[in-house]
């Protein structure tokens, strides 16, 4: 599991209008990929120079510019100038710690959300800050690293000739946000399968490994919750937002995103309760086992008290013992001791203490 992101000391007091990359460099060179489309065609171009950013912003076509890698300040300044993005917003785009939010400004709509993906090679959760700049016919998606999470949306643009090509860039933004939320659902489902497996383990045996698993899954769930809860608030604000950059007929799709995030939160709450129940069951089972052990030890202690008394009496060093010279004295002592032990065991069993 990845660590919580913390604010760096050198970023304290920095102007919100100063363009500084505040994250970790994840790729050597930024990559810009442009898809220009309408109902009849899709043109894909990889932009390799700053000059190519001044592409034809035709109102008859829609444009999706994907920016991967946010560490080159000159490139980010050029993008800000080309698309009239305020520097305070571009500064937030270059800060991976920016909280999920939606902000309507004069020339567009600014959206931030966290993308969560599971890195199988490193066995940890990767957190990526996604920023959207939405205008009437252009969508700019800023990513920290190159990824393939949005390839299904690109395939839909290439193959389908209906809504996704004609409903505008706000519908495209909704489709991309839907992919992010689907990843939330997938991760919660994967974690949920592991949590349910713990229940099966608890029916077989209880050990410290199970306690470690429960605590680990609690940490992972809390980590997911840390990023998903602000996303829920952002999507709620986005669904209620009245903006010129979101068409009226596309509002229902943003409300669907809200419903999907509610489902994510319900799943998190459900698995959180299951983990607390498992922790309670674990501690109760350990306490019950300890009580059983103490009960057995107590019974054995009580059983040996009269036997120890008898042995102690006959182990005293007096010169005169009436039974010491009796031929059957030793056997009689054993018979009395066994009789006492038998009677006590019978009594314990009758009381259902055994």
Domains of the chain (ranges; CATH) run 9-284 (3.30.460.20), 295-350 (1.20.58.340)
**93 vs 199, which has greater pLDDT?**
93
CA distance 29 to 27: 6
Q: Which two tokens stand for residue 208?
A: 């410290």
Residue-wise pLDDT tens digits, 140-195: 999 988 878 888 999 888 887 678 888 889 999 999 999 999 999 998 988 888 88
For 74-227, strand residue ranges (E) read: 101-105, 108-119, 124-134, 138-143
pLDDT average, residue stretch 241-249? 87
pLDDT of 286: 81
Answer yes or no: is pLDDT of 13 > 80: no
| 73 contact partners, CB below 8 Å, separation of at least 6 | 19, 20, 21
Phi-psi region at 85: left, alpha or beta (left = phi > 0; alpha = psi -120 to 50): beta
DSSP reduced 3-state for 63: strand
Weakest-pLDDT range from 210-214, 229-233, 258-262? 210-214
CB neighbours (10 Å) of residue 40? 7
> What integer is the mean pLDDT of 120-146?
87
> Does residue 53 register a pLDDT over 80?
no
Q: Which one has a higher pLDDT value, 196 or 172?
A: 172
Confidence of residue 136 (pLDDT cuts 50, 70, 90): confident
Q: What is the mean pLDDT of residues 45-53?
A: 79
Please provide the average confidence, as pLDDT, over all residues in the chain. 84
If pLDDT is split at 50, 70 and 90, which confidence band does 100 have? Answer: very high
Q: Could you give phi then psi for residue 125, rounded to 5 degrees? A: -95, 130
What's residue 1's pLDDT?
45
Per-residue confidence (pLDDT) for residue 4, from 0 to 100: 47
- For residues 220-247, give the mean pLDDT: 88
Within 10 Å of residue 223's Cβ, how many Cβ atoms?
A: 18
Query: What per-residue confidence (pLDDT) applies to 102?
Result: 93
Q: What is the mean pLDDT of residues 67-79?
A: 89
Residue 56: pLDDT above 70? no
302 has a pLDDT exceeding 80: yes
108-119 and 101-105 as β-strands: parallel, antiparallel, unpaired?
antiparallel
* pLDDT at residue 41 tops 90: no
**pLDDT at residue 134 tops 80:** yes
The secondary structure of the chain in percent helix, strand, coil, rounded to multiples of 5, reads: 55, 15, 30
Averaged over 314-339, what is the pLDDT? 81
Mean pLDDT to the nearest integer, 295-300 = 83
Q: Which residues of 81-108 are buried (b: 16+ CB within 10 A; e: fewer)?
A: eebebbbebbbbbbbbebebbbebeeeb
């Amino acid at each position: 599991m990845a660590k919580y992101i913390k604010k760096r000391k050198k970023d304290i007091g920095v102007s919100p209008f100063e363009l500084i990359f505040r994250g970790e460099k994840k790729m050597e060179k930024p990559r810009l990929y442009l898809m220009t489309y309408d109902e009849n065609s899709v043109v894909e171009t990889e932009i390799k120079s700053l000059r190519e950013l001044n592409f034809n912003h035709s109102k008859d076509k829609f444009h999706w510019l994907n920016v991967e890698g946010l560490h080159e300040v000159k490139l980010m300044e050029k993008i800000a100038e080309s698309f009239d993005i305020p520097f305070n917003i571009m500064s937030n785009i270059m800060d991976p710690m920016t909280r999920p939010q939606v902000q309507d400004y004069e020339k567009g709509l600014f959206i931030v959300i966290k993308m969560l993906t599971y890195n199988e090679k490193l066995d940890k959760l990767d957190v990526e800050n996604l920023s959207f700049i939405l205008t009437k016919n252009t969508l700019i998606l800023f990513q920290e690293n190159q990824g393939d999470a949005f390839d299904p949306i690109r395939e839909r643009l290439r193959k389908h000739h209906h809504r996704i090509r004609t409903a505008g860039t706000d519908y495209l933004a909704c489709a991309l946000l839907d992919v992010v939320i689907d990843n939330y659902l997938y991760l919660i489902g994967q974690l949920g399968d592991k949590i349910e497996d713990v229940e099966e383990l608890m029916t077989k045996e209880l050990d410290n490994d199970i306690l470690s698993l429960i605590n680990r899954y609690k940490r992972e769930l809390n980590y997911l919750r840390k990023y998903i809860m602000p996303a829920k608030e952002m999507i709620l604000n986005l669904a209620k937002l009245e903006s010129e950059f979101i068409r009226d007929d596309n509002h229902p799709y943003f409300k669907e995103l809200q419903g999907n995030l509610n489902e994510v939160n319900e799943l998190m709450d459900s698995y959180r309760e299951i983990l607390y129940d498992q922790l309670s069951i674990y501690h109760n089972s350990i306490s019950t086992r300890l009580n059983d052990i103490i009960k057995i030890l107590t019974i054995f202690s009580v059983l040996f008290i009269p036997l120890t008394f008898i042995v102690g009496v006959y182990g005293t060093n007096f010169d005169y013992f009436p039974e010491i010279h009796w031929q059957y004295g030793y056997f009689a002592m054993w018979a009395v001791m066994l009789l006492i032990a038998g009677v006590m065991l019978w009594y314990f069993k009758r009381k259902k203490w055994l």
